Copies of this chain bind each other. A is one copy, B any other.
Amino acid sequence: MMIEQNPPLAHHHISVDCVVVGFDGEQLKVLLLKRTIKEDGNEYHDMKLPGSLIYEDEDLDAAAQRVLHEQAGIKRMTLEQFKAFGSRDRTKNIKDVKWLERAIQMKVDRIVTIAYLALVKISSSTASFTAAGNELCWIPIDNPGELAFDHNIIIQEAIKRIRQAVSTDPINLFQLLPHKFTALQLRTLFERIYGKALDVRNFQKKLKQMTYVVALDEYEKNVAHRAARYYRFDKVEYNKTRR
């Protein structure tokens, strides 16, 4: 915002990309969209994060919500902006250039993208949406393959952010779990995020200290072993403890 006459001021495109993370009880997964690249009559397939250029007069947060709704059937999800990516060569790959020209129908130099993070229950509406036209997949977040643009880097940064966020405010974790969950599920989730095994007994002790995780009088059924107890997350109680 300073007066400079010589170099040309940039007038770039801005997009949002959403890293939607889920947990299947075993692994962390990320929601990706299939991309089709046509080249010399051949068709390639490819994966990318849900994302979109923003519209005129559309707030960044609103654009991210729209993307989630349009491309993944998820509405009014808690989204956290976590980083902007604006390297010149993030749109330099030939495949990406071709795809952009077809998709946006204009020549694009650079797109600065604002990345958002959302944690969702994998079993939610996304599943049904997958069945419909949009080819959505839950892919293991640790090994998503080679993605479009710099989306591998964006996912790496998202993982870092999740680790940070959990240590200061574990509330987000419970968005990843079903309403009723077992201690094993919660523990496995922590293990995947911290990237290391946790002692079973110490974890149970910590669980008892979390007054906002309340034990239900329900147990697993039809399992070939002692049935595990179900727990639920109590948001009201949680908010009490945060003062």
A207 within 8 A of B: no
* A9 CB to nearest chain B CB (Å): 5
Q: Copy number of this protein in the oligomer?
A: 2
B11 touches A11 (CB 8 A): yes
* A58 CB to nearest chain B CB (Å): 7
A67 touches B2 (CB 8 A): yes
B104 touches A9 (CB 8 A): yes
A58 touches B1 (CB 8 A): no
A136 within 8 A of B: no
- A168 to B164 alpha-carbon distance, docked (Å): 9
* Contacting residue for A1 out of B53, B56, B81, CB 8 A: B53
A29 within 8 A of B: no
- A168 to B163 alpha-carbon distance, docked (Å): 11
* A130 CB to nearest chain B CB (Å): 16
User: Please, which residues of chain B bring their CB within 8 A of the CB of A51?
Assistant: 1-2
User: Please, which residues of chain B bring their CB within 8 A of the CB of A176?
Assistant: none
A126 within 8 A of B: no
Per the 8 Å Cβ criterion, residues 70-107 of A in contact with B are 70-71, 81, 83-84, 86-88, 100, 103-104
User: Please, which residues of chain B bring their CB within 8 A of the CB of A50?
Assistant: 2
By size class, the interface of chain A is 35 or more
B2 touches A103 (CB 8 A): yes
B2 touches A55 (CB 8 A): no
- A111 to B164 alpha-carbon distance, docked (Å): 29
- A75 to B61 alpha-carbon distance, docked (Å): 33
B87 touches A84 (CB 8 A): no
19 chain-A/chain-B pairs, Cβ below 8 angstroms: A1-B52, A1-B104, A2-B50, A2-B70, A3-B103, A3-B104, A8-B55, A10-B53, A10-B56, A10-B57, A10-B58, A11-B11, A12-B12, A12-B14, A12-B54, A14-B86, A57-B88, A59-B86, A60-B112
A interface residues, Cβ below 8 angstroms from B? 1-4, 7-15, 17, 48, 50-60, 67, 70-71, 81, 83-84, 86-88, 100, 103-104, 109-112, 114, 164, 168
List 15 additional contacts besides A9-B55, A9-B56, A59-B88; criterion CB under 8 Å.
A1-B52, A1-B104, A7-B55, A7-B56, A7-B58, A9-B53, A14-B14, A14-B86, A54-B86, A57-B109, A57-B110, A58-B88, A60-B84, A84-B114, A86-B114
